[in-house]
Amino acid sequence: MWYFVVPEVVFGQDALSRLAELKGKSAFIVTDKNIVNLGLIDKVKEQLSQAGITSKVFDEVEPDPSLQTVRKGISLMSQHKPDWVVAVGGGSVMDAAKAMRVEYERPDIKAEEINPFISDLGLGIKCKLVCVATTSGTGAEATFAVVLTDTADQRKLSLINREIVPDIAIVDPELARAMPPGITSNTGMDALTHAVEGFSCTWKNDFTDGLCIRAIQLIFVYLPRAVKDGNDMEAREKMHNAACIAGIGFINALAALAHATGHSLGAVFHTPHGRAVGLFLPYTIEFIGEAREELWAEIVYSLKLEVPKGKKAASVLAQAIRDLARTIKEPLSLKELGIPSDKLNSSMQKLIDNTMADGSLIVSARVPNEEETEKLFRYAYEGKSIDF
């Protein structure tokens, strides 16, 4: 027995106007200063005001949101007493908003206590949650996962519970137009990693497979175009859709080893999430290798690529992903990422411990031990294909 959970998804040009149809009195907008500066919050407020909804803005969400930021938001939210929480931003904003909404509705459950084993949260009584995506990567607008950073412990908390899924996901490509090329590329790699891991993890299922494959196809075609020209609105729309589709695909299966290693790296070196998981993706495909060879072949086939005689689909796929990453100017190794080798060495045990403790690891088709995890980091540092 398993579940397939998805919010109402409103997508395409003018999807933001769904906000004007909401029923309610007050909204608490969760966002970051960059989104405010881009003028996107004005657009959101305008739609909400058409619905007769007043709004209060909390714009203090930082990249890799901390528990402390979430606490601050909850405090303000509790004063404002909204019937809608509207998250406008990328994964960090949407994750913070999901966590704030839980604790606002259920003060007895602290954000860091959100876990998949609790049920009957009874959300949706005090407020409902709308997530408006401004990046095309995390798919957080449609997922029930939250990643927060415990700054004291230098680790990321991957929290999950299917009841925290947003009520409405708004996927309006116009909101992604302002994304600079660097963010377009690394968030796109995040979406690709979701789709590949959702398709290949041990919890993959019939409901998610098609979504993941379609997302992979879209990303390979449209990500380079979106990076090259942010005003290519066809590419923007397809990437926005792909990210949401990949989000739905992976959250109902799960992400795996690239996420475990990527989370670990991000917590120590503050690498943007998409860049970190995307960098590890080809290495983890090679590491998992034989255990998922048929699935790698299915992906390769869906991309209309061929597996030459004597080669493995895992290595063809890993190379295709490296080629894509190179095209969009994403780093292929930790060295290219600019991590000094002495820092890597001094952080190695922390990187290993974080990886081993990451929830994503349990659905990897091949789980590395500590020694193999260290080798994964060292190979990824050198940009060396995995051969163990």
- Smallest separation (angstroms) from another protein to the CB of 74: 18
Choice between 191 and 361, CB closer to another protein = 361
Size of the site for another protein (CB under 8 A): 23
Cα separation, 251 vs 266, whole angstroms: 20
Tokens of 317: 């796929």
Choice between 346 and 369, CB closer to another protein = 369
238 to 277: interface string for another protein, x by CB under 8 A: ----------------------------------------
Q: Which residues, numbered 155-194, are part of the site for another protein (CB under 8 A)?
A: 157-159
**Rounded-to-10 torsion of CA 105, 6, 318, 214:** -150
Cα separation, 21 vs 84, whole angstroms: 12
Question: Does residue 367 belong to the site contacting another protein (CB under 8 A)?
Answer: yes
Q: Select the span of 117-125, 130-138, 277-285, 298-306 touching another protein (CB under 8 A).
A: 117-125
One of 8, 369, 384, 388 touching another protein (CB under 8 A): 369
- Smallest separation (angstroms) from another protein to the CB of 53: 35
CB 28 within 8 A of CB 86: yes
The residue count for the chain: 388
Question: Does residue 203 belong to the site contacting another protein (CB under 8 A)?
Answer: yes
Q: Are strands 168-171 and 128-133 parallel, antiparallel or unpaired?
A: parallel
CA atoms within 13 A on the CB side of 323: 9
Cα separation, 92 vs 367, whole angstroms: 28
Question: Does residue 361 belong to the site contacting another protein (CB under 8 A)?
Answer: yes
Q: Select the span of 61-69, 153-161, 179-187, 217-225 touching another protein (CB under 8 A).
A: 153-161
Angle of helix 370-382 versus helix 257-269 axis, rounded to 10:
70
Choice between 14 and 113, CB closer to another protein = 113
CB 201 within 8 A of CB 153: no
Question: Does residue 206 belong to the site contacting another protein (CB under 8 A)?
Answer: no
Question: Does residue 339 belong to the site contacting another protein (CB under 8 A)?
Answer: no
76 to 115: interface string for another protein, x by CB under 8 A: ------------------------------------xx-x
119 to 138: interface string for another protein, x by CB under 8 A: x-------------------
Q: Select the span of 44-52, 54-62, 291-299, 361-369 touching another protein (CB under 8 A).
A: 361-369
One of 24, 333, 357, 366 touching another protein (CB under 8 A): 357
- Alpha carbon of residue 146 to chain centroid: 9
Question: Does residue 310 belong to the site contacting another protein (CB under 8 A)?
Answer: no
Tokens of 34: 């960059």
User: Sign of the CA dihedral 381, 385, 387, 388?
Assistant: positive
The three-state secondary structure class of 343 is helix
Q: Select the span of 99-107, 227-235, 313-321, 356-364 touching another protein (CB under 8 A).
A: 356-364
The set of residues, in sequence order, having a beta carbon less than 8 Å from that of 301 and lying 6+ positions away, is none
Cα separation, 141 vs 244, whole angstroms: 7
Choice between 3 and 108, CB closer to another protein = 3
Cα separation, 277 vs 195, whole angstroms: 12
- Smallest separation (angstroms) from another protein to the CB of 251: 13
Q: Select the span of 68-76, 285-293, 319-327, 360-368 touching another protein (CB under 8 A).
A: 360-368
Cα separation, 246 vs 142, whole angstroms: 9
The set of residues, in sequence order, having a beta carbon less than 8 Å from that of 342 and lying 6+ positions away, is none
CB 212 within 8 A of CB 255: no
Q: Select the span of 67-75, 291-299, 307-315, 358-366 touching another protein (CB under 8 A).
A: 358-366
Binding residues for another protein (CB under 8 A): 1-3, 112-113, 115-119, 157-159, 202-203, 356-357, 359, 361-362, 367, 369-370
